[in-house]
Amino acid sequence: MRRMAEAEAPQNPMMSLSWVTLAVVVVIGIFSLMSLWMGFQAYGSEHPEQSTYYIIIGTAGFAAIGYMFFRTKTITTKKQTVPNVDVDTILECPSCELKRVRDFKRGDYVYKDDEPCTRCEGTMLITGIHRRAEEKKSKRS
């Protein structure tokens, strides 16, 4: 049996710029550039009122090109990963009530007699397992 990924390879969506899109981008780019140039020319000429119009068209053209590239880049380069979060295991000693928190290890489960207590002779019991609270990210990061 072939691997599923290999079997489906021909139907996988491709996300690349086609030559048509590229041609459209080039044409829009040339027009936008021309429009901007004419805008600056008109600004110093006898009809300065025309400059606003040309500059708006030129800027909008470049904005459209930028948006197109930005979208393509985001979709093609962003690698989707399966989340892997940090999980804590809470241990409590029933004898001396010592509480300890450590990283989760495979095989841990709630109400498992785990490791010897470091304070007394008792055995520590896992009383809780939960995802570690994420530190709030600052707006700049």
Q: Rule CB under 8 A: which residues touch other proteins? A: 1, 3-5, 11-13, 15, 38, 49-50, 52-53, 56-57, 75, 78-85, 87, 104, 106-112, 128-133
Contacts of 93 (CB under 8 A, 6+ apart): 99, 117, 119, 120, 122, 123, 124, 125
Nearer to other proteins, 3 or 136 (CB): 3
Task: Specify the 3-state DSSP secondary structure of 92.
Answer: strand
Q: How far is it, in rounded angstroms, from Cα 88 to Cα 124? A: 15
Nearer to other proteins, 90 or 96 (CB): 90
Nearer to other proteins, 133 or 140 (CB): 133
Minimal distance in Å, beta carbon 44 to other proteins?
Answer: 16
Minimal distance in Å, beta carbon 140 to other proteins?
Answer: 26
User: Comparing C-alpha atoms, which of 86, 81, 84, 114 is closest to residue 98?
Assistant: 114
